[in-house]
């Protein structure tokens, strides 16, 4: 950073320490952000990125350390003070009131909106800023009616209107469609050009390389490295994150598939228009496609959470079209939902309890009719070690864990059951490259053991890396299915664009 | 007919004040199960205040304080210490019932007999000119003071919730306290204040009973009106005017039942007295499913 040393930085954080119980989430972190620059903040799940940003924004008090923003110290502050000083935070899970309109969300907690709200004047400012930045937001639209990409723009709009000089974006692209990502990066460049500083937290190397000026990598609560982006390679950054070399994505081993384990014929449901495929043991069918084309409907209908309107589903020859979710689980189906906050986990229950959810009636979780707390904890400790679930202990509530570690609970639970068929929907969502690799390896091992895997993901690269065959879901049906060896990217792109195109 | 409507308004007034208080509490995200206890404490405090202080104003002042005390108790236990809203509210109701009955006997100088207090009722304050309008004049502009206050309260609360920064922060806290916190509000403070204010306003509802309608305090005199107020605010979709409409419906039901009794319709009076509550149950069953609760109601704050 030759030029960065000249000007005094917009933000200086020094020696930030923050512990949760025995875990030191931040262990003496220094961070500088310059005005007019985008800083990429990288790190594995649980490396302390979110904690650091929450400390900065006044949502968590640090145990030690100091913060200087625009030459003034920030200490013992709350979010209101951080915002007044000119810091805005765009959370991974948007901090918006869904039941309120865009302009109400903008006015909430903003002194300029007045004690008695000047709603019309604020709506005009929303419209004006929305036009200037190309955000395309209607001030009177209820937030609940907006797609995720638009909701994020509401958060950005809040920051712009409050004239924030530093924007923190926590994994802002993880729930955006590719076209929305491009739009977001364009907005970030524009904000940089206006001289604002940006902290951009992400796992996705291409985005880092595209938009960031420099990168700081955290590992286990400490700074593992800093580097300007110019001249850095994705490989090098990934290695900094995990502290060891990460091999390229695994090449699926070619092997003869076994007998058909899951057969789906003409499956229809609201959002699904006649899906047909057969999935063999020892095979992974990767399902690509833009989110919202029937992914959730397909996954939940297979799992028994939605009713099929027509068609037939058989598992190992047994008709399960109208079987309950529990009967499907008993028949050997495992399901990893995309929505881990609601469908996959009970956040208020402990890690150990979440791990036993599907198999609570069987040893080691139960002895006869009674649950066995000792068996549960023992098994949980084993799985936490095996799957690297970082929590204070088996009795920690699942909701306290970082997003990636929550996902690892789901992965551990479903894979530990040794299912005949696994339906995985966005199984690596929010996982860092090391953990992603680990999950993919586990699925390959499951496949090599003779199970069948349906791998649904909006990350095309991942689908291509793991699928033995690739299907593209568009408009509620398979637009095409192709063996991986014969996969042709332009053709897949056309399929993804949909039948409507 | 005018008389019938006047009776409906009279009966609706205490309900409406309690419901207005409940709206504050529930929009901030705390179930207002304790309305009954807050009303009862208000009715008692109003009686003592007016009796000892010698003026209705003293009674009203003490009613605000009495309701607020129950509100404070609920706020500390349910908001600060994050206890279950339902259990806390019910406990507050039982506490208020016992406490007011006990204090009424203490006020009599001990000995186990309740104090015998008789207060002059707050009479109508006709508004010049308007009160002389046909029908409407008598209904709306020749009412006792606390009835005007309830109507003004509807307007004031509507403006507060929809047009002020504090109202926005209150509603945001009931919908998504984490987001409200991130936007710079203090959800703990908002909820504490909302529940205490709920107690004060519901206490006024109790004062209507003792100062404006009965003229004394008797044990458990609210007789379930707090729960009816709770039903009203749900039926009214957590909006002041919606709650007012619901209170009027319940008031009309009770007024109708009083008439039935005077006309000597051969139905047990106990059956007739159930009418408002049966209506409340029916309306809740029909509307209940579509009624959208504040999203974070009953959910304790994370530290």
Spatial separation of the C-alpha atoms in residues B44 and B271, rounded to whole Å:
29
Closest-CA distance of chain A to residue B140, Å: 29
A21 lies within 8 A of chain B by CB? no
Q: Topology of domain A260-332+419-496, per CATH? A: Rossmann fold (3.40.50)
- Does residue A339 or residue B62 have the better pLDDT? B62
Mean pLDDT of the residues in chain B: 90
Q: Which residues contact B17 (CB under 8 A, 6 or more apart)?
A: B146, B149, B150, B153, B201, B202, B204, B205, B208
Chosen for mutation from A58, A84, A91, A99 (greatest number of chain B CBs closer than 10 Å) is: A99
Buried b (16+ CB within 10 A) or exposed e, A193-230: eeebbbbbbbbbbebbbebbbbbbbbbbbbbbbebebe
Given pLDDT bands bounded at 50, 70 and 90, which one contains residue A476? Answer: confident
**A11-242 with A260-332+419-496: one CATH topology?**
yes
- Please tell me what DSSP assigns to residue A350: B
In this prediction, residue B31 carries a pLDDT of 96
Domain boundaries, chain A: 11-242, 260-332+419-496
- Please tell me what DSSP assigns to residue A247: P
3-state secondary structure of A7: coil
A98 lies within 8 A of chain B by CB? yes
In this prediction, residue B126 carries a pLDDT of 87
A253 lies within 8 A of chain B by CB? no
Domain count, chain B: 1
Structural domain includes residue B123: no
Whether A17 and A63 have beta carbons less than 8 Å apart is answered as: yes
Q: Which residues contact A195 (CB under 8 A, 6 or more apart)?
A: A35, A36
In this prediction, residue A30 carries a pLDDT of 95
Q: How many residues does chain A have?
A: 501
For the record, the structure tokens of A329 come out as: 């689980």
B292 contact residues in A (CB cutoff 8 A): 99
Residue A39 has pLDDT above 80, yes or no: yes
pLDDT per residue over B13-50, tens digit each?
Answer: 999 999 999 999 999 999 999 999 999 999 999 999 99
Spatial separation of the C-alpha atoms in residues A186 and A362, rounded to whole Å:
53
Residue B138 has pLDDT above 90, yes or no: no
Q: Could B175 and A113 be called an inter-chain contact, meaning their C-beta atoms sit closer than 8 Å?
A: no
pLDDT per residue over A320-350, tens digit each?
Answer: 999 998 899 889 999 998 877 677 888 888 8
Q: Could B185 and A80 be called an inter-chain contact, meaning their C-beta atoms sit closer than 8 Å?
A: yes
In this prediction, residue B271 carries a pLDDT of 77
Structural domain includes residue B234: no
A114 contact residues in B (CB cutoff 8 A): 165
A317 exposed, middle or buried (CB, 10 Å; 0-12, 13-18, 19+)?
Answer: exposed
Residue of B nearest to A84 (CA): B184
Given pLDDT bands bounded at 50, 70 and 90, which one contains residue A499? Answer: very low
Closest-CA distance of chain A to residue B126, Å: 32
Structural domain includes residue B179: yes
pLDDT per residue over A288-313, tens digit each?
Answer: 887 778 888 999 999 999 999 999 99
Q: Could B180 and A108 be called an inter-chain contact, meaning their C-beta atoms sit closer than 8 Å?
A: yes
In this prediction, residue A500 carries a pLDDT of 37
pLDDT per residue over A408-464, tens digit each?
Answer: 899 899 988 889 999 999 888 777 777 888 888 888 889 988 899 999 987 787 888
Closest-CA distance of chain A to residue B151, Å: 21
Residue A15 has pLDDT above 60, yes or no: yes
B176 contact residues in A (CB cutoff 8 A): 95-98
Q: Which residue from A79, A100, A119 is facing B181, i.e. has the nearest CB?
A: A79
Q: Which residues contact B117 (CB under 8 A, 6 or more apart)?
A: B47, B48, B51, B107, B216, B217
* φ/ψ (deg, to 5) at A422: -115, 125
Residue A1 has pLDDT above 70, yes or no: no
A392 lies within 8 A of chain B by CB? no
Q: Could A109 and B180 be called an inter-chain contact, meaning their C-beta atoms sit closer than 8 Å?
A: yes
Spatial separation of the C-alpha atoms in residues B121 and A193, rounded to whole Å:
71
pLDDT per residue over B124-133, tens digit each?
Answer: 888 888 888 8
Name the nearest CA neighbour of B287 among B253, B251, B245: B245
Spatial separation of the C-alpha atoms in residues B290 and B154, rounded to whole Å:
23
Q: Give CA torsion, residues A436, A437, A443, A444, to 10 deg.
A: 160
Structural domain includes residue B294: no
Residue A171 has pLDDT above 80, yes or no: yes
The ipTM assigned to this model is 0.87
In this prediction, residue A5 carries a pLDDT of 45
Mean pLDDT of B268-278: 77
Closest-CA distance of chain B to residue A117, Å: 5
- Please tell me what DSSP assigns to residue B211: I
pLDDT per residue over B283-303, tens digit each?
Answer: 778 876 666 788 889 888 875
Q: Could A104 and B186 be called an inter-chain contact, meaning their C-beta atoms sit closer than 8 Å?
A: no
B29 contact residues in A (CB cutoff 8 A): none
Residue A3 has pLDDT above 60, yes or no: no
- Does residue A207 or residue B152 have the better pLDDT? B152
In this prediction, residue B107 carries a pLDDT of 86
Residue of A nearest to B164 (CA): A116
Spatial separation of the C-alpha atoms in residues A493 and B10, rounded to whole Å:
70
In this prediction, residue A33 carries a pLDDT of 94
Query: Domain residues for B27?
Result: 13-115+140-222
pLDDT per residue over B208-267, tens digit each?
Answer: 999 999 999 999 999 999 999 999 998 898 999 999 999 999 899 888 887 877 777 777
Whether A241 and A434 have beta carbons less than 8 Å apart is answered as: yes
Residue with tokens 């809203």: B85
In this prediction, residue B288 carries a pLDDT of 61
Q: Give CA torsion, residues A440, A441, A445, A448, to 10 deg.
A: 70
B294 contact residues in A (CB cutoff 8 A): 99
Closest-CA distance of chain B to residue A57, Å: 9
Closest-CA distance of chain B to residue A114, Å: 7
Whether the link from the prior residue into A462 is cis, omega within 30° of 0, is no
Structural domain includes residue B208: yes
CATH number of A11-242: 3.40.50.300
3-state secondary structure of A118: coil
Residue B141 has pLDDT above 90, yes or no: no
Mean pLDDT of the residues in chain A: 86
Lowest mean pLDDT among A233-237, A246-250, B11-15: A246-250
Mean pLDDT of B159-178: 94
Q: What percent of chain A has pLDDT over 90?
A: 39
pLDDT per residue over A48-105, tens digit each?
Answer: 888 999 999 998 999 999 999 999 999 888 888 999 999 999 987 788 999 999 999 9
For the record, the structure tokens of A247 come out as: 């091999």
């Amino acid at each position: 950073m030759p030029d960065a040393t000249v000007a005094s930085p917009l933000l200086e954080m020094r020696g930030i320490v923050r512990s949760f119980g025995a875990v030191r989430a931040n262990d003496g972190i220094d961070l500088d952000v310059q005005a007019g620059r985008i800083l990429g903040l990288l790190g594995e799940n649980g490396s302390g990125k979110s904690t650091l940003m929450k400390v900065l924004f006044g949502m968590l008090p640090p145990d030690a350390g100091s913060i200087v923003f625009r030459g003034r110290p920030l200490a013992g502050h709350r979010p209101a003070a951080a915002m007044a000083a000119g810091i805005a935070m765009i959370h991974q899970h948007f901090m918006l009131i869904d039941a309120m309109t865009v302009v109400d969300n903008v006015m909430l907690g903003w002194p300029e909106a007045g004690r008695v709200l000047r709603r019309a004047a604020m709506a005009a400012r929303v419209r004006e800023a929305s036009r200037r930045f190309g955000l395309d937001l209607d001030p009177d639209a209820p937030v609940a009616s907006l797609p995720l990409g638009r909701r994020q723009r509401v958060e950005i709009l809040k920051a712009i209107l409050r004239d924030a000089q530093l924007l923190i974006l926590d994994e802002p692209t993880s729930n955006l469609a590719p076209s929305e990502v491009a739009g977001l990066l364009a907005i970030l460049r524009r904000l940089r050009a206006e001289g604002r500083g940006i902290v951009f937290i992400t796992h996705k190397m291409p985005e880092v390389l595209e938009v960031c000026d420099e990168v700081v990598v955290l590992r286990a609560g400490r700074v593992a490295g800093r580097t300007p982006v110019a001249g850095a390679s994705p490989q090098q950054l990934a290695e900094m994150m995990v502290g060891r070399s990460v091999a390229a994505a695994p090449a699926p081993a070619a092997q003869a598939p076994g007998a058909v384990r899951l057969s789906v014929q003409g499956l229809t449901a609201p959002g699904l228009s006649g899906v047909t495929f057969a999935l063999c043991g020892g095979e992974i069918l990767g399902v690509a496609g833009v989110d919202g084309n029937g992914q959730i409907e397909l996954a939940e209908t297979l799992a028994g959470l939605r009713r099929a309107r027509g068609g037939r589903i058989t598992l190992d020859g047994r008709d399960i079209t109208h079987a309950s979710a529990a009967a499907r689980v008993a028949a050997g189906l495992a399901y990893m939902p995309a929505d881990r906050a609601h469908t996959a986990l009970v956040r208020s229950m402990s890690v150990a309890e979440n791990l036993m959810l599907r198999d609570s009636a069987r040893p080691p979780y139960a002895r006869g009719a009674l649950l066995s707390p000792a068996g549960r904890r023992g098994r949980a400790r084993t799985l936490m070690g095996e799957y690297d679930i970082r929590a204070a202990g088996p009795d920690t509530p699942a909701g306290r864990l970082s997003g990636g570690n929550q996902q690892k609970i789901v992965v551990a639970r479903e894979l530990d059951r040794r299912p005949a068929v696994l339906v995985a929907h966005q199984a690596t969502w929010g996982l860092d490259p090391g953990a992603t690799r680990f999950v993919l390896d586990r699925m390959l091992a499951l496949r090599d053991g003779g199970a069948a895997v349906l791998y649904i993901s909006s990350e095309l690269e991942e689908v291509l890396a793991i699928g033995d065959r690739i299907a593209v879901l568009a408009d509620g049906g398979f637009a095409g299915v192709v063996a991986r060896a014969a996969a042709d990217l332009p053709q897949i792109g056309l399929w993804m664009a949909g039948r409507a195109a | 007919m005018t008389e019938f409507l006047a009776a409906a308004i009279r009966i609706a007034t205490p309900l409406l004040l309690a419901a207005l208080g409940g709206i504050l509490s529930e929009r901030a995200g705390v179930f207002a199960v304790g309305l009954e206890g807050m009303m009862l404490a208000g009715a008692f405090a109003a009686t003592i205040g007016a009796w000892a202080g010698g003026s209705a104003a003293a009674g009203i002042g003490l009613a605000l304080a009495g309701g607020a005390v129950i509100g404070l108790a609920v706020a500390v236990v349910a908001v600060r210490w994050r206890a279950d809203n339902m259990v806390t509210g019910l406990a507050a109701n039982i506490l208020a019932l016992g406490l007011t009955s006990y204090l009424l006997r203490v006020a009599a100088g001990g000995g186990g007999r309740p104090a015998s207090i008789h207060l002059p009722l707050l009479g109508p304050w006709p508004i010049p000119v308007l009160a002389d309008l046909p029908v409407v004049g008598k209904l709306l502009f020749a009412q006792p003071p606390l009835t005007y206050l309830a109507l003004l309260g509807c307007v004031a609360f509507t403006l507060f919730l929809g047009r002020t920064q504090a109202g926005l922060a209150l509603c945001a806290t009931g919908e998504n306290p984490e987001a409200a916190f991130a936007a710079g509000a203090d959800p703990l403070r908002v909820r504490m204040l909302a529940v205490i204010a709920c107690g004060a306003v519901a206490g006024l509802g109790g004062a209507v009973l003792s100062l404006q309608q009965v003229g004394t305090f008797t044990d458990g005199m609210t007789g379930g009106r707090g729960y009816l107020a709770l039903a009203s605010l749900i039926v009214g979709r957590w909006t002041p005017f919606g709650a007012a409409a619901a209170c009027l419906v319940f008031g009309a039901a009770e007024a109708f039942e009083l008439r039935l009794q005077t006309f000597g319709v051969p139905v047990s009076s106990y059956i007739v007295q159930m009418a408002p509550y049966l209506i409340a149950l029916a309306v809740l069953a029909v509307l209940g499913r579509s009624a959208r609760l504040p999203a974070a109601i009953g959910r304790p704050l994370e530290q």
